[in-house]
Structure 1
Amino acid sequence: MSESLAAAIARVGSPVDVLRNAPARPTVFPVTPEFSNWRSEQLSWRTSVALLDQSHHMTDLFLSGPDALKLLSDVGVNSFANFRIDNAKQFIAVNSDGYLIGDAILFYLAEESFDLVGHPMVIDWVQYHLETGDYDATFERDGNSIVRAGDPKLYRFELQGPNALALMEKVTGAPVPPTKFFHMATFTIDGLTVRSLRHGMAGQPGFELFGPWAEGERVRSALLEAGEEFDLVLVGSKAYSSANLESAWVPSPLPAIFTGEGTAAYREWLPVARAGSLAGSLASDDITDYYVTPYDIGYGRSVAFDHDFIGRAALERHAAEAPRTKVTLVWNEEDVASAVQSLLEPGVPAKYIDFPKARYGLYQVDRVLIDGEDVGISHDVGYITNEHAFVSLASIATEHSAPGTEVHVLWGEEPNSQKPAVEPHRQIAVRATVEPAPYSAFARDNYRAS
């Protein structure tokens, strides 16, 4: 039987020590890293059309039954008052103290039938409450291709870019009906029924197509054939993992499962192998210093106090306070180049900076400083070819969030942790400039406006 998170904490002594030295990898993308090269693949969703395979790296939690929607409403901060079949939403959950557990995409598939798709953090939380609560509902869990035995239940393909609409009209042989953002439609591709979610990734227009796994190869082949005239580009895991930097989605904030009412039993239930790993220059012994609220990472407009849910009272207090603001930090090119150059010089180098995605733990938490004082935390970090910029997404004190504000990001760990992704290195302070999130003007004007 696998060790629980609670047992691991008891054995090691603290949740911070468990996570900082955990072997969990920064990301799990069991698909081809590059079909051509990640730079050209990043360019494709801005200049033509990108095809990304989402079938393997995410977890699906299929929920069904009379109380399935009640469960989601009890756990989620979102409003479900107007949630209908063929709608989707970014489902968000917090703990009893109003700190973020995580987020995932929730699909309303049919009467009393839902699919919650994303990283395991919030999916585990929902599954736990279903198993331990009094709900007339059932679930089927389909893990990613690292943990799953056999094929996925569904294929899931992403089409993104300025040519996505034209490609869809060619491959379906019909005009694409007007579909609101985060609403679903049904199409026919090569004689097969395909469901589609209308949304954007990296701020670009696009479609998320899904259906039974056995039909996926026919759909993919049809897309490739039709896509030739639209400069369709296959995108691998390297480029795909960096797309969130353009849309300003923070993929994996540390889940607030270590404090708060009801979390002790949850830590007994959760295997430590699913707890993830913590990286970065923030080195506090207080695990709550790593928490964020939905307001800290731009989820405030998804919070709805029109129903009772776990953490509602605490979240109302967070809403009334002056929250941190999500921003993009554009790292100084000379400091980034200097960090890379340190690998070619004698002595202990700076922490290795990988491209295009540089985070080295599932939860990346780096200190953001002004004049040596902490003003926030930096999350996901990497390179955007379309902007010729190395950036991170950050949550910083609102009074320091104006574009153009100069800050420093402390990069690297002190002391170095024992994670496999960490080599002997020294910390460095990287200059950075506060800019809007999303950083891409196209994403700000189109994706966020939706």
Structure 2
Amino acid sequence: MPESLAQAIARAGSPVTLLRNAQARPTVFPVTPEFSNWRSEQQAWRTSVALLDQSHHMTDLFITGPDALRLLSDVGVNSFSNFKVDQAKQYIAVNHEGYLIGDAILFYLAEESFDLVGWHMVLDWVQYHGETGDYDVSFERDASSVVREGDPKLYRFEIQGPNALALMEKATGATVPPTRFFGMTTFTIDGLEVRSLRHGMAGQPGFELFGPWAEGERVRSALIAAGDGLDLVLVGSKAYSSANLESAWVPSPIPAIFSGEGTDAYREWLPAARAGSLAGSFASEDIADFYITPYDIGYGRSVAFDHDFIGRAALERHAADQARQKVTLVWNPEDVAAAIQSLLEPGVPAKYIDFPKARYGQHQVDRVLRDGKDVGISHDAGYITNEHAFVSLASIENEYATPGTEVEVVWGEDPNSQKPAVEKHRQVSIRATVQPAPYSAFARENYRKS
């Protein structure tokens, strides 16, 4: 039997100790890192059209049965009152205390048939409640290629950029039907039926295409052929991993599963291998100090108190007292350069800053200060070629969330943890300026319209 999360915490002594020193290697998307170079690939989704392969790094949880929709409604904060086949939504769940478990994309494939796609955190939570509750449901999990043996069940491609619509019309030989944001439709490409989700990444028009794995290469080849004359750019995992910085999606906040009502049994059920790792300068022995609410990262628009769900009463209290909001922090170029330069000087350097994505644990949590006072936490950090800026996504107290406010990000760990991605280093303070999230004006104004 694999070690459970409960057993791993008992062995380590506490959740914080377990996560801080997790021996998991850095997350690597199991696809080609760069087809050309990540800078040009980042530019493609802003200036022409990008083709990204999402087939390998996400997990699919297929949920079927007469109680599938009831389970999703009981666990999720979203409204399901008008949810229909061929629609999708960003699915969000919280624990009984109203703190975030995670989010994923939920596809309504057919009657009594759903596909929940994304990081495993919220997928695990849904499957646990489905298996231990009074639900007539079945689950089929297709894990990422990092842990799966064999090919994925589905291919999943992303088309993004101002030329995306022209590419789809050329590839299908037909006018693309009007489809609202997060609506689904079906295309024919090279004689094959291809399902599509309409959405934008970094504020640009976009389509997520999926179908049986055996048909994937044929569809990909047809897309590449149609891209001739449209400046189609193949995008590798390095650029893709940074795309969320432009759309302002926080990919992996720490899930609130280490304390709270009903989580003891969940930790006994959950394999320790899916616990993740904790990185960053924020330090506390109380794991609950790392939790966030949906409102802290801009998910308030998805919360619907039109049904009963796990954590509803607590989330209503959080809704009435929204202390933080999501922002972009634009890091000071001189301070970033000084941290990098420290690697070229004698002595203990600053924590290495990787490009384009600087996160060095699954859950990155860095302190944000104003005049020496903690005013929030910084999440994902990295470089946006299209904005010539190094940024992080952050949850900041409302008082300090006004664009233009000057803050500091504490970068690096003290003491240094034992994670494989952590070398001997010293903490440094990096000045940053609060800006809106998304940072790009185009993404801010057009993301949900694309």
The verdict on a shared fold, with TM-score over 0.5 as the criterion, is: yes
SS at the partner of 1:230?
coil
- Alignment deviations for residues 139-176 of structure 1 (CA, whole Å, 9 cap, x no partner): 10000001111110000000000000000000000000
Match of 1:127 in 2: 127
* Contact map agreement 1:29 1:57 (CA 8 A) in 2: yes
Match of 1:251 in 2: 251
* Contact map agreement 1:78 1:92 (CA 8 A) in 2: yes
SS at the partner of 1:200?
coil
* Contact map agreement 1:407 1:432 (CA 8 A) in 2: yes
- Give the stretch that moved more between structures: 406-415 or 198-207: 198-207
Q: Percent identity?
A: 83
Establish whether residue 153 from structure 1 lines up as the match of residue 153 from structure 2.
yes
* Contact map agreement 1:49 1:160 (CA 8 A) in 2: yes
Tell me the amino acid that sits aligned with residue 441 of structure 1.
A
Supply the distance in 2 between the matched residues of 1:334 and 1:377 (Cα, whole angstroms).
21
Supply the distance in 2 between the matched residues of 1:168 and 1:261 (Cα, whole angstroms).
48
Match of 1:357 in 2: 357
1:448 Cα deviation after fit: 4.3
Supply the distance in 2 between the matched residues of 1:187 and 1:444 (Cα, whole angstroms).
29
Supply the distance in 2 between the matched residues of 1:99 and 1:110 (Cα, whole angstroms).
31
Structure 2: where are the runs of 5+ without partners? none
Match of 1:220 in 2: 220
Supply the distance in 1 between the matched residues of 2:322 and 2:289 (Cα, whole angstroms).
17
Supply the distance in 2 between the matched residues of 1:204 and 1:298 (Cα, whole angstroms).
19
Supply the distance in 1 between the matched residues of 2:50 and 2:23 (Cα, whole angstroms).
32
Supply the distance in 1 between the matched residues of 2:158 and 2:394 (Cα, whole angstroms).
26
1:403-418 → structure 2 map (5 Å cutoff) = 403-418=403-418
RMSD, aligned α-carbons: 0.7
SS at the partner of 1:78?
coil
Match of 2:100 in 1: 100
Establish whether residue 137 from structure 1 lines up as the match of residue 137 from structure 2.
yes
* Contact map agreement 1:24 1:362 (CA 8 A) in 2: no
Tell me the amino acid that sits aligned with residue 17 of structure 1.
T
Q: How many residue pairs get matched?
A: 450
1:2-401 → structure 2 map (5 Å cutoff) = 2-401=2-401
User: TM-score of the superposition, structure 1-length normalised?
Assistant: 0.99
1:449 Cα deviation after fit: 5.5
Match of 1:423 in 2: 423
Tell me the amino acid that sits aligned with residue 239 of structure 2.
A
* Contact map agreement 1:71 1:135 (CA 8 A) in 2: yes
* Contact map agreement 2:295 2:322 (CA 8 A) in 1: no
User: TM-score of the superposition, structure 2-length normalised?
Assistant: 0.99
* Contact map agreement 1:295 1:319 (CA 8 A) in 2: yes
Give every structure 1 segment of 4 or more consecutive aligned residues whose post-TM-superposition deviation is greater than 2 Å: 24-28
Supply the distance in 2 between the matched residues of 1:113 and 1:322 (Cα, whole angstroms).
35
* Contact map agreement 2:252 2:363 (CA 8 A) in 1: yes
Tell me the amino acid that sits aligned with residue 423 of structure 1.
E
* Contact map agreement 2:181 2:449 (CA 8 A) in 1: no
- Alignment deviations for residues 414-437 of structure 1 (CA, whole Å, 9 cap, x no partner): 000000000000000000000000
1:383 Cα deviation after fit: 0.1
SS at the partner of 1:117?
strand
Supply the distance in 1 between the matched residues of 2:5 and 2:208 (Cα, whole angstroms).
34
Structure 1: where are the runs of 5+ without partners? none
SS at the partner of 2:205?
strand
- Give the stretch that moved more between structures: 347-356 or 268-277: 268-277
Tell me the amino acid that sits aligned with residue 35 of structure 2.
F
Supply the distance in 2 between the matched residues of 1:203 and 1:343 (Cα, whole angstroms).
35
- Alignment deviations for residues 378-412 of structure 1 (CA, whole Å, 9 cap, x no partner): 00000000000000000000111000000000000
Tell me the amino acid that sits aligned with residue 257 of structure 2.
I
